[in-house]
Amino acid sequence: MKNLFEESKRYIPGGVNSPVRAFGSVGGEPIFIDRGKGSKIYDVDGKEYIDYVCSWGPLIHGHADDDIITEVERVLKKGTTFGAPTVLELELAKKVVEMVPSIEMVRMVSSGTEAVMSAIRLARGYTGRDKIIKFEGCYHGHSDSLLVKAGSGALTFGQPSSPGVPADLAKHTLIADYNDLNSVKQLFINNKNQIACVIVEPVAGNMGVVLPEEGFLSGLRDLCSNEGALLIFDEVITGFRLAPGGAQEYFNVMPDITTLGKILGGGLPVGAYGGRKEIMEKISPLGPVYQAGTLSGNPLAMAAGIANLNKLNENFYYELRKKSQYLWNGFKNNCRELKLNYAFNEIESMSCMFFTERPVKSFKDALTSDTKKYAAFFHGMLKKGINLAPSQFEAMFVSAAHTNKDLDATIKAHYEVLKELT
């Protein structure tokens, strides 16, 4: 396995195609994955791991789900791309409109980054304004306007803003503090009639998991409505994870535009953005805001997405919640027993244990985590065959494929590793 990383580094920057995979903040070398099935992944040496990364969220049914694979295989034989409309695109679009309350029309793209980049352009085109407000520590993909004080890998590697983003563009991205409505109000006051949109992860998942405080999301809704700005919920993580209709259904706050990715594609590259008809009609070819993609609505990705969403029903979320609660409670009990007072944020099937005793309600709170301790915890868990995200500032995901046996093994490993560390 060692040689693979060394060799990869000769051909691929850092040996990886997405930075956090390189284990930069936890040290050591990444495992190379050979295959996955259900809750498990297997590295190229054949070692088995219970996986809670789930490809960073999409695999809500676990790895290589039989129903999804069957559909992808069926469609694969008919051709992989046409660059022309297919019934599959229509079917997935209808499904999204049916499931996500604020979406009346939806456009498919190929990644979360592309979805958010396009949504921002649409918001600017629709309002005729240039400035946008985002929150420090929220990650919305790596397009230029959004790689400013970002979370996820940008935060992990200590470069939340990237060289290569022109200052002339970055100056249009205004930064507010998550869970602090006043910081948003102030920006609106200082930039009267200039703000196109506020974009937010309704549950932050890229500074670790940080929940919106009571009134934060509805406060953003009111501010945007009063100021003639659009509210964008980036539901790339929360979409189809918190509820069939995502965070907007869960918290009952409706954005103007929603961005989706991850679970929508069932493990194949898909993103989407959608919203009210009157806004979406501004997109080309109906309207003047241009956005396109050769592989957009790719048949394999659509097939995987449809099969994936078809399996999400009330009972699915009930069962997933039960499993998640069992695991989260197991972790909390472990901490109590070991007299550790670490902040633990969880909602439905996503969670994050922060190595800090301060309750984590903001980006600043998240930064008080002891990332060295997280690194030791991460490696301890990995050694015991539990795969977690190789960074403190990411989420842990439970899938429907996790069994009770997996959960018990994970709770036991969590206890043992924390005990060793204290």
Looking at the DSSP assignment, which residues form a beta bridge with residue 131? 195
| Cβ contacts of 302 within 8 Å, gap of 6 or more | 75, 86, 88, 89, 91, 92, 108, 270
Q: Is-catalytic flag, 234?
A: yes
- Is 139 a binding residue for ligand PMP by CB under 6 A? The answer is yes
Smallest separation (angstroms) from ligand PMP to the CB of 201: 5
Q: State which residue, 17 or 368, has the beta carbon closest to ligand PMP.
A: 17
Interface segment toward ligand PMP; rule CB under 6 A; list 137-145, 155-163, 296-304, 313-321 = 137-145
Q: Which of 240, 289, 184, 203 is nearest to 60 (CA)?
A: 240
- Is 112 a binding residue for ligand PMP by CB under 6 A? The answer is yes
- Is 236 a binding residue for ligand PMP by CB under 6 A? The answer is yes
User: 39, 86, 102, 111: which one contacts ligand PMP (CB under 6 A)?
Assistant: 111
Q: Is-catalytic flag, 95?
A: no
Interface segment toward ligand PMP; rule CB under 6 A; list 40-48, 136-144, 166-174, 371-379 = 136-144
- Is 258 a binding residue for ligand PMP by CB under 6 A? The answer is no
- Is 399 a binding residue for ligand PMP by CB under 6 A? The answer is no
- What would the x/- binding string for ligand PMP be over residues 359 to 388, using CB under 6 A? ------------------------------
Q: State which residue, 112 or 266, has the beta carbon closest to ligand PMP.
A: 112
Q: Is-catalytic flag, 66?
A: no
User: 56, 273, 342, 393: which one contacts ligand PMP (CB under 6 A)?
Assistant: 56
User: 245, 261, 297, 390: which one contacts ligand PMP (CB under 6 A)?
Assistant: 261
Interface segment toward ligand PMP; rule CB under 6 A; list 135-143, 163-171, 339-347, 367-375 = 135-143
What dihedral do alpha carbons 226, 289, 232, 308 form, nearest 10°? Answer: 150
CA–CA separation, 383 and 33 (whole Å): 15
- What would the x/- binding string for ligand PMP be over residues 141 to 170, using CB under 6 A? x----------x------------------
Interface segment toward ligand PMP; rule CB under 6 A; list 33-41, 169-177, 232-240, 245-253 = 232-240
Mind spelling out the 3-state secondary structure of 69-88? HHHHHHHHCCCCCCCCCCHH
Residue numbers of the site for ligand PMP (CB under 6 A)? 56, 111-113, 116, 139-141, 152, 201, 205-206, 234, 236-237, 261, 271
- Residues with a catalytic annotation lie at 139, 234, 262
